[in-house]
Amino acid sequence: MKNLEIYENFQQSNRVFFNDSQISNYQKMWDWLPEKYRNNSFFLNVWQQMRSKKSLTKKQWTELEYLLKNGKSRYEAGILPPNY
């Protein structure tokens, strides 16, 4: 039982959770993004997961948050190399 508690705490610490008001605010940002990002399979899947499960992994949230706040991906901004 102790190992199960440790595993559950590990899983939760690796995720970012969202409430309905946060999602509605990010929905406004999402709607203003260029079409190429809203139709991009990676960002679209992450966005749909955020809306349905109300949580993302920290890495997914890092990518989506940068896109929402800056209007371009971290790759296009030059933060990540193309072969990352």
pLDDT confidence bin for 81, thresholds 50/70/90: confident
Residue 15 near residue 57, CB atoms below 8 Å: yes
- The model's pLDDT over 18-67, given as tens digits with 9 standing for 90+, comes to 999 999 999 999 999 999 999 999 999 999 999 999 999 999 999 999 99
Kindly report the backbone phi and psi dihedral angles of residue 53, in degrees, each rounded to the nearest multiple of 5, phi listed first.
-95, -15
pLDDT confidence bin for 78, thresholds 50/70/90: confident
